[in-house]
């Protein structure tokens, strides 16, 4: 009994002494738990297996986009074109399937198209143009190409077995898209925390000129992070197309807002150099939960957009105050 009391006392002392660290690291998880509890009380269907599965699947797209967005924002950049890249990728891939190209080959080509879109963004950014302006421009370009290819109409997925990418379950239990997301987040965390590439990403975001003086090739790093952003957007597009059995040129509209929100809610500084990819995952879950809960409670999607915008502004303001 005395040993237990000593352990509890030690825990309380650590909380008091290091409360600021615990707050910054675990506050988001606590808030997410509160959100889930409140929604569970307000909606009797929130904790049903079907709704939890719906949240898991709906989070997939946001979570995938947020991986690439985290890499980009850590370098003090931004990628506003992820939603348009998502649409262009799925439109191109499904169109190739309609032309007789196999689903695997079409998916790989789609990932390649996403990589090219990201590489193009990175290449222009390395020429000195602001990332906001560059990706704002390519957001319109990529979306326009998707609209031209389809004539503005959806394209139906011809291969039923391709739906497995979004609707399949490993061992009949674990959703395939959720497993893909978990694996990619683990890999992204390893890259950012345990490789020279990851170290250089943080260095550029913290002080780009200082990083360059120490030998960091900032241009190559930026090419890399924007290419990653394009590929994760492409994968999100493929999974989304498999889920709805169609490709839409309007797919991903507003997705850039959700991905940015997930990143900043997860604690990544909008000014670069600080962040944790695993907390981005928690941020994506929070975004998916808020949208799902809002739908269950009958809250308008228009109001949801307002709330998300307020959250982004508030988090960036807090980040700004911490830096000052």
pLDDT in tens, 181-210: 999 999 999 999 999 999 999 999 999 999
pLDDT band at 22 (very low <50, low <70, confident <90, very high): very low
pLDDT band at 270 (very low <50, low <70, confident <90, very high): confident
Three-state SS for 202? Answer: helix
pLDDT (0 to 100) of residue 6: 52
Of the listed ranges 12-16, 215-219, 293-297, the one predicted with least confidence: 12-16
Whats the size of the chain, residue-wise?
A: 324
pLDDT (0 to 100) of residue 318: 67
Task: Identify the CA nearest to 270 among candidates 261, 258, 279.
Answer: 261
- What H or E segment, with its residue span, contains residue 170? strand 169-170
Kindly report the pTM of this predicted structure: 0.86
pLDDT (0 to 100) of residue 5: 47
Angle at 304 between CA 298 and CA 308, to 5 degrees: 155
Q: In the beta sheet, which residues pair with residue 247?
A: 155
Cβ atoms of residues 212 and 218 within 8 Å = yes
**Mean pLDDT to the nearest integer, 232-239:** 96
pLDDT (0 to 100) of residue 159: 84
**109-150 pLDDT, tens per residue?**
999 999 999 999 999 999 999 999 999 999 999 999 999 999
pLDDT (0 to 100) of residue 161: 83
Is 249 a residue whose pLDDT tops 50? yes
Q: What is the dihedral of CA 142, 147, 149, 154, to 10 degrees?
A: 120
pLDDT (0 to 100) of residue 313: 79
pLDDT (0 to 100) of residue 267: 85
pLDDT (0 to 100) of residue 324: 56
1, 3, 225 from 6: Cα distances, Å: 9, 5, 47
pLDDT band at 11 (very low <50, low <70, confident <90, very high): very low
pLDDT (0 to 100) of residue 319: 59
Cβ atoms of residues 61 and 238 within 8 Å = no
Is 66 a residue whose pLDDT tops 50? yes
**Mean pLDDT to the nearest integer, 211-238:** 95
> Which of residues 233 and 159 earns the better pLDDT score?
233
pLDDT (0 to 100) of residue 68: 97
Highest mean pLDDT, choosing among 30-44, 59-73, 305-319: 59-73
**Residue 282 to residue 263: CA distance in whole angstroms:** 9
**Residue 77 to residue 85: CA distance in whole angstroms:** 17
Is 299 a residue whose pLDDT tops 90? no
**Residue 46 to residue 69: CA distance in whole angstroms:** 29
pLDDT (0 to 100) of residue 298: 84
Domain spans of the chain, in order of start:
53-323
**Mean pLDDT to the nearest integer, 215-239:** 96
pLDDT (0 to 100) of residue 118: 97
**Residue 41 to residue 21: CA distance in whole angstroms:** 30
pLDDT band at 25 (very low <50, low <70, confident <90, very high): low
Q: Which fold has domain 53-323?
A: ABC transporter involved in vitamin B12 uptake, BtuC (1.10.3470)
**144-184 pLDDT, tens per residue?**
999 999 999 999 988 888 888 888 888 777 888 999 999 99
**Mean pLDDT to the nearest integer, 68-79:** 96
pLDDT band at 304 (very low <50, low <70, confident <90, very high): confident
Q: Which residues of 41-74 are buried (b: 16+ CB within 10 A; e: fewer)?
A: eebeebeeeebeeebbbbbbbbbbbbbbbbbbbb
Task: Provide the percentage of residues in the chain whose pLDDT is more than 70.
Answer: 89
């Amino acid at each position: 009994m005395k040993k237990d009391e000593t352990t509890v006392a030690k825990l309380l002392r650590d909380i008091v002494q290091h409360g600021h660290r615990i707050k910054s690291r675990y506050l988001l998880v606590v808030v997410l738990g509160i959100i889930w509890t409140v929604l569970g009380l307000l909606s009797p269907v929130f904790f049903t297996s079907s709704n939890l599965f719906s949240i898991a699947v709906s989070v997939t797209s946001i979570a995938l986009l947020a991986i690439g967005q985290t890499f980009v924002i850590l370098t003090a950049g931004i990628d506003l074109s992820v939603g348009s890249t998502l649409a262009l990728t799925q439109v191109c891939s499904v169109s190739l399937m309609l032309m007789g190209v196999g689903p695997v080959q079409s998916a790989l080509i789609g990932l390649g198209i996403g990589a090219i879109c990201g590489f193009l963004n990175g290449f222009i950014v390395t020429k000195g143009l602001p990332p906001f302006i560059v990706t704002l421009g390519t957001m319109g370009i990529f979306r326009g190409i998707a609209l031209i290819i389809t004539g503005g109409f959806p394209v139906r997925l011809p291969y039923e077995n391709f739906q497995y990418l979004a609707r399949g379950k490993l061992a009949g239990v674990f959703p395939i898209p959720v497993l893909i997301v978990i694996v990619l987040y683990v890999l992204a965390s390893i890259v950012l925390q345990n490789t020279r590439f990851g170290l250089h990403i943080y260095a550029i975001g913290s002080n780009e000129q200082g990083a360059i003086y120490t030998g960091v090739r900032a241009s190559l790093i930026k090419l890399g992070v924007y290419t990653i952003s394009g590929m994760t957007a492409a994968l999100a597009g493929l999974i989304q197309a498999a889920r709805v059995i169609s490709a839409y040129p309007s797919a991903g509209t507003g997705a850039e807002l959700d991905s940015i929100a997930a990143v900043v809610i997860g604690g990544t500084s909008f000014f670069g150099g600080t962040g944790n990819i695993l907390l981005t995952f928690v941020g994506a879950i929070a975004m998916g939960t808020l949208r799902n809960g809002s739908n269950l409670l009958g809250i308008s999607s228009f109001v949801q957009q307002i709330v998300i915008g307020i959250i982004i502004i508030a988090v960036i303001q807090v980040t700004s105050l911490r830096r000052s």
